Amino acid sequence: MSASALLASATHPTELYALVRYILTPTPSSISPASKKSSVSPSRSPTRARCYHFLNLTSRSFSRVIAELDDELRHPVCLFYLVLRALDTVEDDMTLDIARKAALLKDFHNKIYQKGWKFMDSGENEKDRLLLQEFDVVIEEFLTLDEKYQKVIADITKRMGAGMALYIATPTPEKPRYIEIETTPAYNTYTHYVAGLVGIGLTDLFAASRLEQPQLTSPANIELANEMGQFLQKVNILKDFLEDLQEGRVFWPKDVWSKYVPEGRSVDALAEEQHQDVALACLNELVVDALKLVPSCLSYMSLLKNPTVFQFCAIPQMMAIATLDHFYNNPSVFRTTGTKIRRGLAVKLMLASTDMRSVKKQYEQYALSINRKNADAVGKNDKDKSFMKVAVACADIVKWVHAHDETQLVPAANNGWKFDWVVAVGLVVIACALAMGMLPTVL
């Protein structure tokens, strides 16, 4: 925890409080290889320790979230994460020959059963190349998992690898990017492969562990799980536009951005200051697309029964809605890379991710916040046609919260008129003054 995080939250007392609480509270079951009642592997195995080392190395925020999980699920989820992280590192690697990359992506679900397999040829710049170089360790641990968990992980790895292979490309003069997504349906399919499948796989793991009901894997609920993943991915795709563009990847669908870029220009025009109006209009159209997933995400979370599973799912979702609120109509998407929500806010949201009631409250606040920004933006950007669509998407979130508000008492028709009548009579004097044309006659 850095002092800068505290400083950034200095004007947000609730965040300061959250930060301090977070610093003072020990992690409930800190990430360590030696978990007391681990169901699968013997404690203190060196390969297991190495896996958690990689987990901490590749994702600090995720390792913290995994730490909250029940012992039964922690190890399978950890390995699920590491396998997919390795797959992702292959996908991201621009130094690999395209044919070799595609073959490896498609075959990765077999590699995880090959004891001793590792991959030494990742590009120098791949930050997680070490994971692939020592992947034999991950395989070792994967093979200690209960077969029901292995099956889920292998199945998702197979589907995701095959999906990723459809999208990779070698840059050519006509198509200068590694990834370019043509249409909105392709955007939906892509986010399904790289993130929706994570939601689906996790759901299968939850059910397999019996910490959640088997009904969680019904087709309707699997679709909700898919949308959970898609929402997270789409928020990241929006936020990381500039960074991805600089690395030669464009995930924003062409059928959307092409409506906004100037004639004859490509998507990089959005990053130019003189095109800020169209860039924001394009961003906001994609924000609407992401916001529409939120009711499904809420529905999914409301199905979860196990508190540790709930928290595990809710934390990233809360971060995502907060991120969307931050980046909606925000020019910084096109100016700077690596901007994140304040650490203090992140911690506050983590602490608020413990139960559905608190999550609903936060979502309602974010929906209102985005709607407020939306209303303030009306008429300030002629290119932006998303006003009513953002408004309706925000309203749909609040409507969902209302419909699932079990605390709400059905209010009796309010006929409490008499008391106010007394107040009103007392104010008649003021009234007379005001009535002389000073009253704003709204409506």
Q: By CB under 8 A, name the binding residues for other proteins.
A: 368, 371-372, 375, 378-380, 387-389, 391-392, 394-395, 398-399, 402-403, 408, 411-415, 417, 420-421, 423-425, 427-428, 430-432, 434-435, 439-443
- Tell the smallest beta-carbon distance from residue 364 to other proteins (Å): 9
Question: Of 169 and 395, which CB lies nearer to other proteins in the complex structure?
Answer: 395
Question: Residue 66: helix, strand or coil by DSSP?
Answer: helix
Question: Of 34 and 435, which CB lies nearer to other proteins in the complex structure?
Answer: 435
* Beta bridge mates, 180: 250
Radius of gyration of the chain from its Cα atoms, rounded to whole angstroms: 25
Question: Of 346 and 370, which CB lies nearer to other proteins in the complex structure?
Answer: 370
Q: For 249, list phi and psi in degrees, rounded to 5.
A: -125, 135
- Helix residue ranges per DSSP H, 45-170: 46-58, 60-67, 71-92, 98-111, 129-133, 135-142, 147-167
- Tell the smallest beta-carbon distance from residue 148 to other proteins (Å): 40
Report the alpha-carbon angle 97-192-307, nearest 5.
Answer: 120
Nearest-angstrom CA–CA distance, 441 and 443: 6
- Tell the smallest beta-carbon distance from residue 443 to other proteins (Å): 5
Question: Of 191 and 371, which CB lies nearer to other proteins in the complex structure?
Answer: 371
Burial of 362 (0-12, 13-18, 19+ CB in 10 A): buried
Question: Of 71 and 364, which CB lies nearer to other proteins in the complex structure?
Answer: 364
Residue type, 53: H
Q: Fill in the DSSP letter of residue 64.
A: H
- Tell the smallest beta-carbon distance from residue 409 to other proteins (Å): 10
Q: Fill in the DSSP letter of residue 271.
A: G
- Tell the smallest beta-carbon distance from residue 424 to other proteins (Å): 4
* Spatial CB neighbours of 107, under 8 Å, sequence gap ≥ 6: 161
Residue 208, Cα to own-chain centre: how many angstroms?
24
Whether 19 contacts 6, CB under 8 Å? yes
- DSSP-assigned letters across all residues of 393-427: HHHHHHHHHHHT-TT---PPP----HHHHHHHHHT
Question: Of 2 and 417, which CB lies nearer to other proteins in the complex structure?
Answer: 417
- Helix residue ranges per DSSP H, 264-412: 276-291, 294-303, 307-327, 343-351, 356-377, 387-403
- Tell the smallest beta-carbon distance from residue 368 to other proteins (Å): 5
- Tell the smallest beta-carbon distance from residue 373 to other proteins (Å): 12
- Tell the smallest beta-carbon distance from residue 412 to other proteins (Å): 8
- Tell the smallest beta-carbon distance from residue 42 to other proteins (Å): 54
Nearest-angstrom CA–CA distance, 224 and 105: 26
Nearest-angstrom CA–CA distance, 138 and 51: 6
Question: Of 44 and 385, which CB lies nearer to other proteins in the complex structure?
Answer: 385
Whether 269 contacts 334, CB under 8 Å? no
Question: Of 40 and 392, which CB lies nearer to other proteins in the complex structure?
Answer: 392
- Tell the smallest beta-carbon distance from residue 382 to other proteins (Å): 10
Question: Of 3 and 429, which CB lies nearer to other proteins in the complex structure?
Answer: 429
Question: Of 220 and 433, which CB lies nearer to other proteins in the complex structure?
Answer: 433
